[in-house]
Structure 1
Amino acid sequence: MKEDNRLAKFLDGSLSGEAKNEWDQEADKELYERIKRYSADLSAPIHTHDDHLLQAIMDSKATAVKKLPPYGYSRWLAVAAILLCVLLGGWLMWSSETVLQASTHATLQVPLPDGSEVLLDNGSKVSYKRFTWPIQRYVQLEGDAYFAVEKGQTFTVKTKLGAVRVLGTRFDVLTSSGKLSVHCYHGKVEVQQQKDKMLLTAGQSLRVDDGRWERDSVFLLEPTWKAGQLLFESASLDQVVTELERSFAITIETTAHSVSRTQQFTGKLPTADRDAAIHIIETAFSVSCRKLADHRYLIESK
């Protein structure tokens, strides 16, 4: 213990008198001198520095922590997002349409979801909504088409010139040249244009032209154009030209001062032979149809 006490006093420099003389005689004095010298270079950490370091750490943790929204708020946001996606998907399905169009040189047969069929004439187009079909059989038609409708709920064909409603039948709808023509081959159809309506039974036809409703008879089992023919009844040259342009994708010009506008044509024109159809028109109207280019013609009086 005495030795330890002398070492402690040596290190802190408090040895004096006889104790100091005895210490100087120690064999390990040189070792103790080095210990004293090295221990003098050591210092305890400054507490104020520790305080600042601790505060900096606390501040950094405080800024890194973000306040999260309440659990209930996040849950309602997720529910709202899901509902929005469901509503948007339902609306897209409800409003989406299937659109089909025949080429200018061929007819197109279109099967409908209930087994009904539509045969589109050259260049004609039909559209319908597949998603709502089970509760509403409804098609939009541009051009001419033949319908074979399965029995069921009301089947409606809407055109720019009027609507045709049926339950189950075979009929065609023609909207060319600004006129609405309907031929009923089987069953019954109802034709409506604005507030006017007319019921047709099998074997009857109707032509609506500029407000005039003309009922007639049908002696055919199906439209002649289904077999590659165009059927005209009391058609003017302008009306025939319009059909030829649409069927053959050509342009036909006429000279108004030299071609009669009062003549009419009743008959058939082939849709598979352009030259033959033009020749028939030349004979029926006593005109000359001159070819200007591959798809351009000029009709003049003879």
Structure 2
Amino acid sequence: MEENYKLAKWLSGEMSEDELAAFEAEPDFVIYNKIKKYASELETPNFDENKTLSTILASPKKEIKTVSLAQNWFFRIAAVLVIGLGLFIGYQNFATSTEYAENGVQNSFTLPDNSEVVLNSGSKIEYKKWNWENHRALELNGEAYFKVAKGQKFEVHTSLGKVTVLGTQFNVKQRENRFDVTCYEGKVKVDYGETEIIITKGMSIAFEDGKSITIPENAIQNPEWLNNEMVFYQANLKSIIGEFERRFNVTLELKSNDNSQLFTGTIPSENIDIALQILATTYHLEPTKVSKNKIILKAVNAQK
């Protein structure tokens, strides 16, 4: 009740300087001030004083009712709160929604049309709920698997390219300068620069540094990373280390100059020790754990 009294005094401009300073120091003052600001910007119809006076004089006289100051404050508080609630609901509908998957974890969620999305480690998706049925599009930074509900066109935008589908299942991966798309059901259209390619079930396409990489067809039903496997096709050591860091939430420091070899294969990602051993054997490295989340990869020759 005391809070409502202070709010009413502030709205009516009846606070002393000390009271105003104390009120502005309260944590909720920022919210109150925003509500007041937006409420003051609401437009009202033009007021015709002469017309209103004539109407009043011509109307039958009625018993005059008075409204106490306390009631007046109550109505003003109620009006401000209603306006604030409306602004909050509007913000929730029009603001951009963001989904994250931090390093070491995956994040599954559902879009407004019940399309299912699984974000891989170190990835982010942004989209707007408003008018989703007529504009089903989102921004992806990282890697995600989509199981799209049947309906209108669905678009995935990345910094490297765009994928357009209609009721299908597919995987999109955008990491630095490499862009990979795999279709598991239906068909998808991939736009990369001036190139437009349509791929169907079992097909994959990849681009790196502006060049197309042809990937053999595969009969798998969903991305391997959903089953705790990291799959690479003509991947360089830098990109492999990046996947390790995101998957296991660690930092790998490479101390080797000979890292030009491209790797194609599968590395299990349930156990970091096994995964590191495969990586170390392939690239002739020696992993050394220097802290809980930091590992140094040094060339074997450098150990001698």
TM-score, with structure 2 as normaliser: 0.67
CA distance in 1, matches of 2:128, 2:277: 43
Q: CA deviation at 1:285?
A: 1.2
- Check if 1:72 corresponds to 2:17: no
2:54 aligned residue: none
- For structure 1, which segment, 120-129 or 152-161, has the greater mean C-alpha deviation from structure 2 after superposition? 120-129
**Residue in 2 that maps onto 1:233:** 233
1:293 aligns with 2:269: no
Question: Contact between 2:256 and 2:299, CA under 8 Å: does it hold in 1?
Answer: no
Say if 1:89 and 1:122 are closer, same or farther in 2 by CA, change over 3 A: closer
Contact 2:104 2:246 (C-alpha < 8 Å) held by counterparts: no
Shift of 1:89: 7.6
Query: Root-mean-square deviation (CA), in Å?
Result: 2.6
Give the superposition deviation at 1:105: 2.0
Q: Work out the CA distance in 2 between the residues paired with 1:173 and 1:291.
A: 32
Q: Which residue of 1 aligns with 2:265?
A: 267
Alpha-carbon separation, structure 2, partners of 1:295 and 1:225? 21
Q: Specify the structure having the higher radius of gyration (Cα).
A: 1
Aligned to 1:200: 199
The one-letter code matched in structure 2 to 1:299 is L
Q: Which amino acid aligns with 1:210?
A: D
Counterpart of 1:96?
A: 95
Task: Indicate whether 1:279 and 2:255 are aligned.
Answer: no
Aligned runs of 1:150-229 on 2, under 5 Å?
A: 150-216=149-215, 217-229=217-229
- How far off is 1:95 after superposition? 3.8
Identical-pair percentage = 32
State the alpha-carbon separation in 2 of the partners of residues 100 and 278 from structure 1. Answer: 29
Any idea what the Cα deviations from partners look like across 1:51-72, whole Å, max 9, x if unmatched? Answer: xxxxxxxxxxxxxxxxxxx942
Deviation (angstroms), 1:94: 6.0
Instruction: Count residues in correspondence.
Output: 223
1:177 & 1:283 partners in 2: Cα distance? Answer: 26
1:107 and 2:106 equivalent?
Answer: yes
Q: Distance in 1 between matches of 2:147 and 2:175?
A: 20
Write out per-residue CA displacement over residues 182-214 of structure 1, whole angstroms, 9 at most, x where no aligned residue.
Answer: 001111101112332111111110001111122
* Alignment TM-score, normalising by the size of structure 1: 0.68
Q: Counterpart of 2:131?
A: 132
Task: Give the aligned partner of residue 120 of structure 2.
Answer: 121
CA distance in 1, matches of 2:272, 2:299: 20
**Deviations along 1:146-201, whole A, 9 cap, x unmatched?**
00011111100011111100011110001124200000111110111233211111
The Cα shift of 1:112 comes to 1.0
Residues of 2 paired with 1:155 and 1:148: CA distance?
11
Q: Provide the residue aligned with 1:243 in structure 2.
A: 243
- CA-to-aligned-CA distance 1:219-257 (integer Å, 9 cap, x gap): 311110001111111212111111111111211111243
> What's the offset of the Cα at 1:273?
1.3
Q: Is the 8 A contact 1:183 1:218 kept in 2?
A: no
Question: What residue identity is the alignment partner of 1:116?
Answer: S
Q: Whole-Å Cα distance in 2 between the matches of residues 278 and 127 of structure 1?
A: 33
Query: 2 CA distance for matches of 1:158 and 1:88?
Result: 29
Unaligned runs of 5+ in 1: 1-69, 76-83
1:111-143, Cα deviation, whole Å (9 max, x unpaired)? 111111001111211121111212111111111
**Alpha-carbon displacement from aligned partner over 1:239-296 (angstroms, at most 9, x marks no partner):** 1111111111211111243xx2222222222333111111110111121111121111
